[in-house]
Amino acid sequence: MLTVASPKISEMGIALRAKSVSDAITRHRAQYVTAGVGTRFTIVIGLTQPVSPRIVQEPLKLFADYLTDKQAATDLHVIVEPDFVGVDGVSYASDEALLGYTRQFINDRLQASDFHPDSWQPVAIRDPNETRAKLASVAGDKYSYREMDDFTDLIEKTLKSVPQASKVSRSGILPEKVFLLYSQERIASYGLKTSDLSNILGARNITLAGGQLEAAGKNLSIDPSGEFKSEKEIGDVAVSQTNLGAPVLPARPGDIARGYDSPPRFLNYYESRGRTRQLGSVRAPSRVAVQMRPGEYIGEFGKGINAALAQVKTQLPEDLIMAPTSDQPGQSQRTSTCLWTASTRRLSWL
């Protein structure tokens, strides 16, 4: 069994991220006229990968309203950037108090399990010059769950090529979904119901085989086209037409976005001790388990697996963590060595 985990973002990555966040905060604040009592702050939540603005804007607006209701801040503005999201405002409260409101909002209103899995811990930034130090204290993982899914998929396919392996499985992968955001009023104005959308899109997204055709003594498989290859193709499907015959699309391009299952049902973590001997924890989205075919030798099985892993490592990032959590071939070899050593010592004593 192999645990595959993402390393933390590097110091260089933090520096690049800090410059991007600092520039964005400065740019956004230049558009505001500070009003209210206190100093300006920005609650920043870093993202491992960009997310759709439509997915995060509504929770951020709810968070801004939450701070207003608690009388914790004024002059609030939502910020959505490719590498972070946040809320900027004016407050007399301390950074600890603002972060306390943030955690309380996530737990009470969003539920912690519903929070985006690829996000970092929130941090409060007042002076843009302190951005790097602030981000370094909450630096997240380098690779997203989607990237880890791609990495472990390649590992799984490579291990399946080992002759001694009978089954290769992955666990801990966080499935993705495609979200279609639409206006019920707009759909109803064209005489459609909400349930019609799934039927229309399902009829277009053909994934099953279309049967066989016999011709000249040969059987030819019929594979109908139409399967969606990306979320963009969903927005190109006409669900109806206007009185003038113009096609009606289900949503605008920005209203179709990828996202993870919410809440995430099964998340793994990998803990290790670094040079400082301190225990560190990183996300381990996948565990790859390999089973040996009946009748094979476990030693040859281990050699085949190790050779396949050495091959696939050349196609993966060098800093990707791949740690064996169960190694029966290795355990068998160590047990045999211990028994041989014990027998040798006993013969020498006799």
> Residue ranges of the domains in the chain?
8-136, 145-173+285-349, 182-250
Greatest pairwise CA separation for the chain in angstroms: 102
Say if 8-136 and 182-250 have the same CATH topology: no
Token readout for 322 is: 């791949």
pLDDT value of position 40: 93
Instruction: State the pLDDT confidence band at 279, using cuts at 50, 70 and 90.
Output: very low
Listed ranges 22-36, 280-294, 305-319; the one with the highest mean pLDDT: 305-319
| Distances 329 to 295, 298, 324, 335 between C-alpha atoms, Å | 14, 6, 11, 10
pLDDT value of position 171: 80
DSSP conformation letters of 82-137: TTEEEEEEEESS-HHHHHHHHHHHIIIII-GGGS-TTBPPPEEESSGGGHHHHHHT
Q: Please report, in angstroms and rounded to a whole number, the separation of the first and last CA atoms in the chain.
A: 41
Instruction: State the pLDDT confidence band at 45, using cuts at 50, 70 and 90.
Output: very high
**CB distance 271 to 142 below 8 Å:** no
Q: Crossing angle, helix 298-313 and helix 145-159, to 10 degrees?
A: 130
pLDDT in tens, 153-176: 999 999 999 999 999 988 877 777
**What is the CATH code for 145-173+285-349?**
3.30.70
Say which CATH architecture domain 182-250 belongs to: 2-Layer Sandwich (3.30)
pLDDT value of position 36: 62
pLDDT value of position 234: 72
Choice between 284 and 90, residue whose per-residue pLDDT is larger = 90
Domain 8-136 has CATH 3.30.70: yes
Is 50 exceeded by the pLDDT of residue 265?
yes
Average pLDDT of the segment spanning 35-40: 76
Within 13 Å, how many C-alpha atoms sit on residue 107's CB side? 6
Burial level of 240, CB count in 10 A (0-12/13-18/19+)? middle
Buried residues in 297-313 as b, exposed as e (16+ CB within 10 A): eeeebbebbeebbeebe
For the sheet with 2-5, list strands across it: 165-171, 286-292, 2-5, 321-324
pLDDT value of position 262: 65
Listed ranges 25-29, 196-200, 251-255, 259-263; the one with the highest mean pLDDT: 25-29
Distance CA 81, CA 25 (A): 10
If residue 182 lies in a helix (H) or strand (E), which one and from where to where? none
Choice between 95 and 239, residue whose per-residue pLDDT is larger = 95
DSSP conformation letters of 132-173: HHHHHTT--BSS-HHHHHHHHHHHHHHHTT-TTEEEEEEE--
pTM (2 d.p.): 0.71
Least confident of 85-89, 100-104, 162-166, 177-181: 177-181
Residue 322's DSSP bridge partners are: 4
